[in-house]
Structure 1
Amino acid sequence: MRLLHTSDWHLGQTLHGFDRSDEHQAFLDWLLDTLVAERIDALLIAGDIYDNANPSAASQKQLYRFLRRARAAAPHLNIVIIAGNHDSPGRLEAPGPLLEEHAVTLIGQVGRDASGDIDVDSLVRPLLRRDGSIAAWCLAVPFLRPGDVPRVEDSENPYAAGVAELYRRALDRALARRAPGQAIVALGHCHMVGAAPSADSERRIVIGGSEALPSTLFGPEIAYAALGHLHLAQTVGKEGQVRYSGSPLPMSFSETHYPHQVLRIDLDGETALNVAPLLIPRTVDMLRIPPRHAPLPEALALLAELPEACEAPAPYLEVRIALEQPEPGLRARIEAALTGRHARLARIDTVLPRRRETESAAMPEQLAQLQPDDIFQRLYRQKYDADAPPDQMAAFAELMLAATGAAR
């Protein structure tokens, strides 16, 4: 059996106000062609299908259209989808009864039986060969919140211990069901110890820093663990069977250098014989100019060297400026430099001199003893290492007068 592992689509995501539905559609079209060309038997999608818990109608339609086209192009295809921390479990599961008629499994949350116990059976799903026989068992475990996991007494990290216990129960159920020669694969949406997160686009998923899980969570009985949540494709642990596929698109400028990919896995009986990355074409580029923060004149000179505008999709642009003091007309000067250039200004990232250590300390007075303009002046000095200019102090005073008048 041949599997394809992908995750973190984030359908509906915008990049600093720019809609990305065309980029997502280009990826889905490529993925559909890849499923057919690579003769894939099972598509595993490890969470964060949508960018938020209340996805737009357009992004939901984009998902369902892809699922319909995938089934039409590959009628034998198993499709297993789990929810990530960005997804609404209930919303993702809602069309499940209908989609199960088309061999699509949606697991949004950990189910409970009538007595309140975890419904482990609902998390253990067969993967079928083209002749209808079972080739493997899939532990389809969605993103787990603290209330989803079993309670484990006397544990230093109750969340991690509960996750391990839940996977153990699911594995025991799969081991009891499988016949010789049938592999066990796992899906998960989690943060593993030692794995590298992205700087700007990944949320902490469990409050308190207890979300990082050990790679020993997936033992040798599991042929392959298909993970989601981290956007950088990477292997966890030394054995090589626990992997993140990464996101298909860069979700922020910190991800511009990532090798965006899906992973093809060949199962040979109970083992994963081969894991191969398939690189995803990037339809819209992302630029950081200058590569490091530089003074404004240097940055403007580099922007002027960009190619002239053309009909091809313009790359997203982050401009990185090192300022000595606040520059009120900064955006206007950058936009003027970009006139007629082949780029879309998405973000201006500025850095200023370090704050004074004496000013960055906590204020000695109680806030109640300070006037609003005093607080504004102190905060401005902490951030910009300079006194607030008179025009900004005057503007602040006007805002305070307007707020006072509205309160009356």
Structure 2
Amino acid sequence: MIRLLHTADWHLGAALQGWSREAEHRAALAQLIALAKDRDVDAVIVAGDIFDSLNPSAEAQRLLYDTLRDLRAACPRATLALLAGNHDPAGRLEAPRALFELAGVHSVGVIARQGGALDLDAHLLPIRDSSGAVGAYLLALPYPRAADLPVAGAEVAGSTVVWGVRALYREAVEAARARIGSAPLVLTGHLHVAGGLESEGAERRILVGGEHAAPPDIFPEDAAYVALGHLHRPQKVGRESIRYSGALIPMSKTEIGYSHGATIVELGERGFASAEHVAFERSVAHLRVPAQGAIDVADIEKGLAALAIDPQMPDSARPFVHLAVKIDGPAPGLKSEIDAICEKFPIRLVSLAVERPQRADAPQVAPMRLAERKPLDLFREAFEATHGVAPAEEHLRCFDRLAEEE
């Protein structure tokens, strides 16, 4: 039996309206380390978005190194694998590889090749059980960037990007199978798999060229488990053995109701056996006022008082509050008025939504979320509106490169 701890989307260094999340991260990571030790896991897989930005702060990097040190102490024999996500500075995860290897940590920032072929020595890792025997292998693949994908020919139908991602995984799995035979194989991926539920405002559609989702059948049926990162809601996609572990902490108000934590996976002799999502306790509360709908401005103070928050609570533990108010007509100075009210309470106001009653004679238009539009489609429309002609292939390739560099 092989036991894995699957985690992702730590987003170290993230802030919420200028407020640091380090205290929350440290509390969640302490629970992660305790879980790994308690379950005596054979491997810890961090499936991307370790950092929140391509230029992480010194504090964020220190927190990563502290966590790796404590994980290694808690799980002396476990395979520890870090995979780069779209938020991560791939080079910074690659650069300390020699030092990571001294601690038994495998960091994979980019797709590595030797002579044009996938370098399995960089991507294929054995996972050993408590007896020291190899019970499975991990095929560690990071977020697929434009340069990692094979070039599709003119005969390819549909999305060339999805074709490229599928071809990359096919190549990697075939190479791994040639080396390990039929042994249980665990895959990783940091991408949006079709059917996964995303969080509005917290996740970008990330495949190159505006194509945002790959079908789950890019992962072969004989894969024992697929450890995914990018979507912040813990969930399965397509089949039981393809899963997002979800983020460690809420990254936006749309994630208040999520069960943040990590996933424990067990593999038997025939591959996937079970997956258990383990929820973590939140060290900082995320509250919506009111719980549903919107509140009158005159009732805000009463609503905040009803939270009954200890005024002696330290600043780093004060809850984040997402406030929704309803007004009828102009409201000059509204934000200043609300800020003055909130200052009376031990809270941190991080979002303010204003709702106005819709006029009876106003046309009913179905709203479209920006997340429902593909970036490439928006680029095509903007280009044609500006120049009066559709963008050429050269323009689309330039857009792909810029989208990749973002």
Q: TM-score, normalised by structure 1?
A: 0.82
- Name the counterpart of 1:301: 302
The worse-fitting range, judged by mean Cα deviation, of 284-293 and 239-248 is 284-293
**Cα distance, 1:204 vs structure 2:** 2.2
**Cα distance, 1:257 vs structure 2:** 0.2
Give, in whole Å, the separation in 1 of the partners of 2:76 and 2:4: 15
Give, in whole Å, the separation in 1 of the partners of 2:210 and 2:306: 45
- Name the counterpart of 2:158: 156
Give, in whole Å, the separation in 2 of the partners of 1:164 and 1:83: 19
**Cα distance, 1:30 vs structure 2:** 1.1
- Name the counterpart of 2:171: 169
Give matches, 1:231-242, under 5 Å.
Answer: 231-237=232-238, 239-242=239-242
Greater relative contact order: 1 or 2 (C-alpha under 8 angstroms, separation 6 or more)?
A: 2
Pairwise CA RMSD: 2.4
**Cα distance, 1:342 vs structure 2:** 3.5
In the alignment of these two chains, the number of paired residues is 358
Confirm or deny that 1:243 pairs with 2:243: yes
Give, in whole Å, the separation in 1 of the partners of 2:75 and 2:39: 11
**Cα distance, 1:79 vs structure 2:** 0.5
Secondary structure of the structure 1 residue equivalent to 2:102: helix
The answer to whether the 8 Å contact 1:300/1:334 transfers is no
- Name the counterpart of 1:55: 56
- Name the counterpart of 1:133: 133
- C-alpha distance 78-357 of structure 1, shift in aligned 2 (>3 A): farther
- Name the counterpart of 2:112: 111
Give, in whole Å, the separation in 2 of the partners of 1:202 and 1:3: 25
Confirm or deny that 1:320 pairs with 2:356: no
- C-alpha distance 355-102 of structure 1, shift in aligned 2 (>3 A): farther
The worse-fitting range, judged by mean Cα deviation, of 324-333 and 227-236 is 324-333
- Name the counterpart of 2:32: 31
- Name the counterpart of 1:187: 188
Give, in whole Å, the separation in 1 of the partners of 2:39 and 2:311: 35
- Name the counterpart of 1:46: 47
Amino acid at match of 1:96: R
- Name the counterpart of 2:378: none
Q: Deviations over 1:82-130 (max 9, x none)?
A: 10000011111111111112221111111233x5554355322222234
- Name the counterpart of 1:264: 264
Q: Percent identity?
A: 37
The answer to whether the 8 Å contact 1:299/1:320 transfers is no
Amino acid at match of 2:327: L
Give, in whole Å, the separation in 1 of the partners of 2:48 and 2:330: 41
Secondary structure of the structure 2 residue equivalent to 1:240: strand
- C-alpha distance 149-120 of structure 1, shift in aligned 2 (>3 A): farther
The answer to whether the 8 Å contact 1:81/1:105 transfers is yes
Amino acid at match of 1:316: F
Extract unaligned runs of 5+ from structure 1: 360-408
- Give the number of the structure whose alpha-carbon radius of gyration is greater: 1
- Name the counterpart of 2:384: none
The answer to whether the 8 Å contact 1:309/1:343 transfers is no
- C-alpha distance 317-160 of structure 1, shift in aligned 2 (>3 A): same
The answer to whether the 8 Å contact 1:191/1:229 transfers is yes
Amino acid at match of 1:55: P
- C-alpha distance 245-76 of structure 1, shift in aligned 2 (>3 A): same
The answer to whether the 8 Å contact 2:192/2:207 transfers is no
- C-alpha distance 354-150 of structure 1, shift in aligned 2 (>3 A): farther
The worse-fitting range, judged by mean Cα deviation, of 162-171 and 48-57 is 162-171
Confirm or deny that 1:332 pairs with 2:332: no
Extract unaligned runs of 5+ from structure 2: 364-406
